[in-house]
Amino acid sequence: MAKNNKKESHPTVRAEGGRDEGKRWFLSESGFHDIGRSSENSIVLRDKTVSKRHALLENIDGIWFISDLESRHGTFVNGEQIDRKKGLFSGDKIRIGESVLIYEDD
């Protein structure tokens, strides 16, 4: 039987700077991850400028998307504020409040 040589991908978001610097969250291939200040989120940011439920990461057909959940300060990808779901590419910088997360899918 032939072995599949396809490298398994383990997408993550990594905090760059701020109180959560260096933290890394692994994204499960199915489902979603909510981001915010509340401990009820799967990705919790300790940043007072982040809303309790700020943004949502979701996997749709193998592609990760982020959307803003009507937060007070908005969600930005590579410096541009998003107003609808946005597909992510490895290396994208996500700014949520004053926190910056790097999306990695290598």
The DSSP letter of residue 47 is -
Q: What is the pLDDT of residue 18?
A: 83
Two tokens at 79?
């410096």
Residues 6+ apart with CB under 8 A from 44: 36, 37, 38
Q: Provide the token pair at 47.
A: 């940043």
Give 38-67 pLDDT, tens digit per residue: 999 999 999 999 999 999 999 999 999 999
The pLDDT assigned to 8 comes to: 55
The mean of the pLDDT values for the chain is 91
Cβ–Cβ under 8 Å, residues 13 and 26: no
106 pLDDT higher than 80: no
pTM: 0.88
Q: Residue 36, Cβ neighbours under 10 Å: how many? A: 23
Q: What pLDDT, on the 0 to 100 scale, is given for residue 5? A: 41
